[in-house]
Every structure is written in C-alpha cells, then in structure tokens.
C-alpha cells in the first residue's frame, strides 16, 4: 500500500469503528473459501494480525454473489463468474456492529492470483496445515467446509 492510502486508512479506521459503536448499523458482507486442489487461499487485511477469508462489504443494490465477484477482482485480481455453492449465512454482533455474512465456496482451476494494495498478504495453505494465526471464525468456516456442510444458518 502506498503511503497516502496507508495514512488515510490509519485516520479513518478508528472513526469508522466509533461510528459502529454509536449507531450499530446493520452491515452485509460476503467472503469466499477459495480452493485449489487441497489448498485454501487466505488473506491478511492491513493492520490485522490474523489470516481470514477474502471478501468484503456488500454494496447497496448488490447481491452477495456479485459482491464476491467484485471483491475477488479488487483484492486478488481473480475474474470469478460463479461460485460452486453457498456454505452459509452468518450473523455477528461483534465490534458493536450487526453483521450478516454470506460465505461461498469457489474452486479454482489454477493457483494464479495477484494480491492487490488493499491486502497486507495473501497465500495458499494446505487444508491439512493451516497457519496458527488464523481467525477463530475462519477456522470454524473451514471446518464446516471440510465436514461437507452447505447452506448453514448460524452465528459467526
């Protein structure tokens, strides 16, 4: 990330968190379990010390699937036109927010991606050897995927 974008992020991020705490808006997001053979693609967002699933906020008028296609392009330069299936829909009240998060599974024919500026890091990991610093929610979603679950409705 270049210095000007980093500075803007450092200034606005605490203000956004304060807004969430005061107004408790309902937000919608979509994330993806991206699989190539027996590997999963995980990301580290800027100023976050754990690995998680790629994805982001659903824009007004956007479907969760369209959000995933856009986010994969923005974060990883991946042109995705379909998901394999929906793992589930989850709700979260953490960080003073009211979130609904949709998780999709996408199986890729190649390991090729290009990390974009809005991510600190992105890497492939074998499903049998996940990093120690993975977020608890990401770990739960991966376990659900490995169990063969689909169309869950649960707490994040």
pLDDT in tens, the chain (156 residues): 566 666 676 777 677 666 666 666 678 999 999 999 999 999 999 888 999 999 999 999 999 999 999 999 999 999 999 999 999 999 987 766 678 999 999 999 999 999 998 899 999 999 999 999 999 999 999 999 999 999 989 888
Q: How many CB atoms lie within 10 A of CB 132?
A: 6
* Structure-token match 């024919």, residue found: 109
Residue 100's SS3 state is: strand
Q: Which domains does the chain have, with CATH numbers?
A: 3-155 (3.90.79.10)
Q: What is the per-residue pLDDT for 16?
A: 67
Q: Which residues pair with 124 in a beta bridge?
A: 41
* Structure-token match 């610093």, residue found: 133
Q: What is the per-residue pLDDT for 7?
A: 65
Q: Which residues pair with 99 in a beta bridge?
A: 27, 92
Asked if 92 and 99 touch (Cβ cutoff 8 Å), the reply is yes
Q: What is the per-residue pLDDT for 2?
A: 64
Q: What is the per-residue pLDDT for 17?
A: 66
Q: What is the per-residue pLDDT for 92?
A: 82
Alpha carbon distance 124, 141 (integer Å):
16
Asked if 57 and 27 touch (Cβ cutoff 8 Å), the reply is yes
61, 8, 138, 75: CA torsion to nearest 10: 60
Kindly report the backbone phi and psi dihedral angles of residue 57, in degrees, each rounded to the nearest multiple of 5, phi listed first: -75, 140
């Amino acid at each position: 990330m270049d210095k000007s974008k980093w500075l803007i992020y450092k200034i606005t991020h605490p203000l956004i968190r304060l807004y969430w705490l005061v107004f408790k808006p309902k937000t919608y997001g979509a994330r993806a379990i991206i699989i190539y053979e027996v590997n999963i693609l995980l990301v580290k967002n800027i100023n976050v010390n754990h690995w998680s699933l790629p994805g982001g906020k659903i824009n007004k008028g956007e479907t969760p699937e369209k959000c995933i296609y856009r986010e994969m392009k923005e974060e990883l330069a991946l042109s995705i036109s379909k998901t394999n299936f929906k793992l589930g829909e989850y709700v979260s009240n953490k960080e003073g927010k009211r979130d609904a998060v949709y998780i999709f599974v996408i199986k890729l024919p190649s390991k090729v991606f290009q990390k974009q500026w809005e991510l600190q890091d992105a890497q492939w990991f074998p499903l049998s050897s996940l990093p120690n610093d993975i977020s608890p929610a990401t770990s739960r979603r991966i376990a659900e995927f490995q169990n063969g679950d689909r169309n869950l409705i649960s707490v994040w």
